[in-house]
């Protein structure tokens, strides 16, 4: 039963979570502007510790979101040490978060139905074996 279609394989669980990293980056930035390294920590707080891509991938996501106008960045030269990028969400990013939130709410019902149907089938299968 291999070849489930696009995006489905035995590692589907981690793939699904990785796809949510971008929205969670936006959510973290909606709360407050942050440095890239701080965003990595915030993703861990959201439960992504086992699914985090490397820093390079996170920075590529941030660059992509900035190119699309969802976030902006500026150099912070305050304090000691090298200058760092500070990222913050834009009004377009907030609009996207609102849309994503509505989509997730709509999908929760579908996911609940999937889980219920799967658990019923699994339980029936276990009784028959």
- Residue 49 sits in a domain whose CATH number is 1.10.10.10
Q: Is residue 57 part of a domain?
A: yes
From 12-26, 60-74, 88-102, 112-126, the region with the lowest mean pLDDT: 12-26
Mean predicted confidence (pLDDT) in 40-59: 86
Looking at residue 110, what is its pLDDT?
93
From 32-36, 46-50, 54-58, 105-109, the region with the lowest mean pLDDT: 46-50
Question: pLDDT tens digit string along 64-104?
Answer: 999 999 999 999 888 788 889 999 999 999 999 999 999 98
- In the structure, what pLDDT confidence band is assigned to residue 2 with cuts at 50, 70 and 90? very low
Predicted TM-score of the model (pTM):
0.76
Q: Is residue 46 part of a domain?
A: yes
- CA contacts within 13 A on the Cβ side of 65: 29
How many structural domains is the chain composed of?
1
- In the structure, what pLDDT confidence band is assigned to residue 5 with cuts at 50, 70 and 90? very low
Q: Which of 68, 89, 76, 74 is nearest to 25 (CA)?
A: 89
Q: Is residue 1 part of a domain?
A: no
Q: Is residue 37 part of a domain?
A: yes
Q: Is residue 6 part of a domain?
A: no
Q: Is residue 56 part of a domain?
A: yes
Range of the domain at 53: 12-128
Cα 22 to the center of its chain, rounded Å:
4
Rounded to 5 degrees, φ, ψ at 35 are -85, 160
Q: Is residue 3 part of a domain?
A: no
Q: Is residue 79 part of a domain?
A: yes
């Amino acid at each position: 039963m291999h070849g489930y279609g696009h995006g489905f394989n035995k590692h589907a669980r981690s793939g699904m979570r990785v796809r949510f990293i971008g929205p969670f980056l936006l959510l973290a930035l909606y709360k407050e502007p942050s440095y890239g390294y701080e965003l990595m920590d915030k993703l861990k707080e959201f439960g992504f510790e086992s699914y985090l891509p490397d820093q390079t991938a996170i920075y590529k996501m941030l660059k992509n979101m900035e190119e699309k106008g969802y976030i902006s960045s500026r150099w912070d030269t305050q304090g000691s040490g090298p200058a760092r990028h500070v990222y913050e969400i834009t009004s377009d990013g907030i609009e996207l978060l609102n849309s994503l939130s509505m989509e997730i709410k709509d999908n929760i019902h579908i996911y609940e139905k999937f889980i219920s149907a799967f658990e019923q089938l699994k339980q029936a299968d276990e009784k028959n074996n």
